């Protein structure tokens, strides 16, 4: 499934929703993954119309890209229920999150917590794998408070269960997104497993991704925050380039806002605040823009703020 794939955008809560995924695809991404989907929410509550639309809209039978849905949780039965629900939609694979470091996920014994409760992770993976005909992948970190002494054995066990690919953030949970990535650990893992492995952590360009692939022997890379900040990065792998100025970025903002409005209505003005700030991150004189969009309560106000930012000196 992942042969010849070198770049995958990472799933990120509150960011990689349908409008952003569509931008990724437009700029050349060959794989996209949903935001984290709570197995608890699917088990106890009726799936939201937004979730159903999000999973349904990737109707891509032409095979132009691959779509994965990521689930998280700590209860095997609920994770199976989530996998069965998702399997009804045009989804190509299911990804199990064992890497999210945020407190509210950890407190549920989900996400990166599973890196210190890896027997539970194995049970979940086995149960999910048995419940669906879809390939199952896992996103992990290399430990919780410290690098797991048996991280290689953990990955080998996941391979033996039948996991189709590993997405490995080369930091521990307690390192969050800071400090140097432990690429040497990924090298040890790639030497021990034969399934595809994608390296994740602080990758911000095609040049750096090539360095990481050379150092780790990974099949490819997974890019998170930088992809959300600059979705046009995927065009680099196709040999395309753009002049990244305010006009170009403002046009992307406006397009993204329009797509979000069609999905969320006026809530798009609130939903896109973080995303729009990411777009403006590397430009000077963006402080007033950030204030404006944080105070905006309507799509029209947000649109006007974008236009003012575009014309700022």
Sign of CA dihedral 13, 14, 18, 24: negative
**Residues recorded for the chain:** 313
Active site residue 100: yes
Decide if 223 contacts 204 (C-beta within 8 A).
yes
Angle among Cα 99, 101, 106 to the nearest 5 degrees reads 100
Helix (H, G, I), strand (E, B) or coil at 93: strand
**What six digits make up the tokens of 189?**
């893992």
Q: Are 102 and 126 in contact (CB under 8 A)?
A: no
Give the active site residue among 84, 100, 181, 294: 100
DSSP secondary structure letter of residue 98: E
For 150, 172, 221, 249, the CA distances from 180, given in Å and listed in that order, are 20, 11, 16, 30
Please tell me what DSSP assigns to residue 114: G
CA distances to 61, 122, 225, 256, 269 from 286, rounded to whole Å, are 41, 46, 19, 18, 17
> What count of Cα atoms within 13 Å lies in the side-chain half-sphere of residue 115?
32
What H or E segment, with its residue span, contains residue 139? strand 136-141
Active-site residue list: 100
């Amino acid at each position: 499934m992942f042969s010849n794939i070198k770049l995958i955008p990472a799933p990120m809560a509150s960011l990689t929703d349908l409008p952003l995924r569509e931008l990724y695809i437009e700029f050349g991404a060959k794989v996209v993954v949903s935001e984290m989907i709570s197995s608890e929410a699917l088990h106890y509550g009726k799936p939201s119309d937004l979730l159903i639309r999000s999973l349904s809209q990737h109707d891509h039978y032409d095979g132009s890209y691959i779509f994965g849905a990521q689930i998280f949780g700590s209860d095997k039965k609920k994770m199976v229920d989530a996998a069965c629900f998702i399997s009804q939609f045009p989804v190509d694979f299911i990804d199990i999150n064992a890497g999210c470091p945020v407190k509210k996920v950890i407190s549920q014994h989900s996400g990166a917590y599973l890196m210190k409760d890896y027997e539970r992770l194995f049970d979940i993976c086995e149960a999910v794998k048995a419940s669906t005909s879809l390939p199952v992948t896992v996103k992990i970190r290399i430990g919780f408070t410290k690098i797991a002494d048996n991280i290689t054995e953990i990955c080998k066990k996941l391979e033996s269960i039948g996991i189709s690919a590993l997405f490995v953030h080369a930091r521990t949970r307690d390192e969050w997104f800071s400090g140097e990535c432990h690429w040497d650990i990924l090298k040890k893992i790639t030497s021990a497993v034969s399934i595809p492995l994608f390296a994740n952590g602080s990758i911000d360009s095609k040049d750096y991704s090539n360095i990481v692939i050379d150092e780790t022997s990974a099949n490819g890379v997974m890019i998170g925050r930088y992809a959300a900040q600059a979705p046009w990065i995927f065009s680099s792998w196709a040999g395309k380039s753009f002049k990244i100025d305010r006009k170009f970025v403002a046009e992307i903002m406006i397009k993204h806002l329009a797509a979000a409005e069609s999905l969320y209505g006026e809530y798009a003005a609130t939903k896109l605040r973080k995303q729009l700030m990411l777009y403006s991150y590397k430009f000077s004189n963006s402080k007033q823009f950030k204030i404006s969009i944080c105070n905006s309560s309507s799509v029209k106000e947000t649109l006007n703020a974008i236009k003012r930012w575009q014309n700022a000196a």
